[in-house]
């Protein structure tokens, strides 16, 4: 009879086991974990709850700490700062065909859904609020500082990416500094300009004026 009892025990264990496993097919639960001590990292991993009082894993940096590679941005988020950025701010990258190409790819990720792939303001966003994005080729002087979209200088465009403008939000936390400048250069091509040639011209002008000022100082 012992033999029979063993079989009965085995069957009931299997039934119980399979019930436990089947119960794990729930989409709300990740399932059974094998050796949790090898799964859970003692070092901090992103988006895992380490039971901080506010449950946020990404802790705030100590006060007054500065990120690596941080550069201060002196222009303020108002009309004055906007005008100043337009006047003084220049693209620090040496522009080539390649930077423009990279800018295009970044533009398509970060801008095209509102501004459209060709910069005509016809993006894929369906919401009516973003249904009237202006074209970069628009020449009506009704934008900030009574400029047209086509008049915007590289500094203006960079300032708009940093702080946002009107219904556009600030994008400085999404896009890194170098990438912002690549996007600026590509947007200039969408304005119908040639940023590479413009940069070369400016470099030439800069050299001339620098030489002149040295001359005037010596005089």
Partner 1 sequence: MNLISLRTPAKTLFTILAVVVFSIVSSFDLQAQEDGEKLFKSYCASCHSAGNNALVGPGLAGVYDKYEREWLYSWIKNSQALIASGDEQAVAVYEQYNKVLMPNQPVNNEQIDAILTYIKEYNEAAPAAEVASTDAAEVVEEGEAETSPYFIAAIVIALLMVVVILRKVQHLMKVVEARIKEEDIPEELTLGQAIGRTIQSNKTIFALMGIVVLCLFAKSGWDAAFGIGVYEGYEPEQPIKFSHELHAGTNGIDCNYCHNSASYSKSAGIPSANLCMNCHTYIQEGPQYGKEEISKIYAALDFDPVTKTYGPNQKPIKWVKVHNLPDHAYFNHSQHVTVGKIACQTCHGPVETYTVGKQYAPLTMGWCINCHRETKVQMDGNGYYDEIHERLPESLKKQYLEDGTITVSELGGIECAKCHY
CB of 203 to partner 1, least distance (A): 29
Task: Report how far apart, in Å, the C-alpha atoms of 178 and of each of 64, 174, 183 are.
Answer: 24, 12, 9
For partner 1, the closer of residues 143 and 185 by Cβ is 143
Structure-token match 């079989």, residue found: 7
For partner 1, the closer of residues 71 and 216 by Cβ is 71
CB of 168 to partner 1, least distance (A): 8
Given a contact cutoff of 8 angstroms between Cβ atoms, the answer to whether 147 and 83 are in contact is no
d(CA 119, CA 3): 81
CB of 219 to partner 1, least distance (A): 43
Determine the 3-state secondary structure of 44 from DSSP: coil
CB of 38 to partner 1, least distance (A): 5
Tokens at 166, concatenated: 């009107």
Given a contact cutoff of 8 angstroms between Cβ atoms, the answer to whether 195 and 189 are in contact is yes
What is the DSSP track for 101-135?
HHHHHHHHHHTHHHH-TTSSS--S---GGGS-PPP
d(CA 150, CA 70): 31
CB of 156 to partner 1, least distance (A): 13
Provide the phi-psi class of 218: left if phi over 0, else alpha when psi is between -120 and 50, else beta: alpha
CB of 30 to partner 1, least distance (A): 4
Q: Could you list the residues that contact partner 1 (CB under 8 A)?
A: 11, 14-15, 17-18, 21-22, 24, 27-34, 38-41, 45-49, 54-56, 79, 108-110, 112-113, 123-134, 138, 140-146, 164, 166-171, 173-176
d(CA 181, CA 91): 6
For partner 1, the closer of residues 20 and 214 by Cβ is 20
Question: What is residue 165's DSSP assignment?
Answer: B
């Amino acid at each position: 009879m012992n033999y029979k009892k063993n079989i009965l025990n085995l069957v009931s264990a299997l039934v119980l086991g399979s019930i436990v496993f089947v119960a794990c097919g729930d989409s709300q639960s990740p399932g059974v974990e094998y050796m949790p001590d090898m799964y859970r990292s003692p070092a901090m991993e992103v988006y895992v709850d380490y039971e901080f009082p506010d449950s946020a894993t990404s802790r705030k940096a100590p006060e007054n700490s500065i990120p690596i590679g941080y550069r201060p941005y002196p222009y303020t988020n108002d009309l004055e700062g906007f005008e100043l950025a337009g006047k003084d701010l220049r693209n620090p990258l040496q522009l080539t065909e390649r930077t423009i190409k990279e800018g295009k790819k970044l533009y398509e990720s970060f801008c095209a859904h509102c501004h459209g792939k060709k910069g005509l303001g016809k993006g894929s966003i369906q919401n009516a609020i973003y249904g009237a994005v202006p074209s970069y080729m628009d020449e009506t002087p009704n934008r900030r500082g009574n400029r047209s979209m086509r008049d915007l200088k590289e500094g203006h465009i960079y300032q708009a990416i940093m702080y946002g403008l009107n219904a556009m939000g600030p994008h400085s936390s999404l896009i890194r500094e170098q990438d912002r400048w690549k996007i600026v250069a590509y947007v200039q091509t969408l304005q119908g300009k040639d940023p590479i040639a413009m940069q070369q011209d400016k470099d030439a002008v800069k050299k001339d004026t620098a030489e002149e000022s040295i001359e005037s100082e010596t005089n």
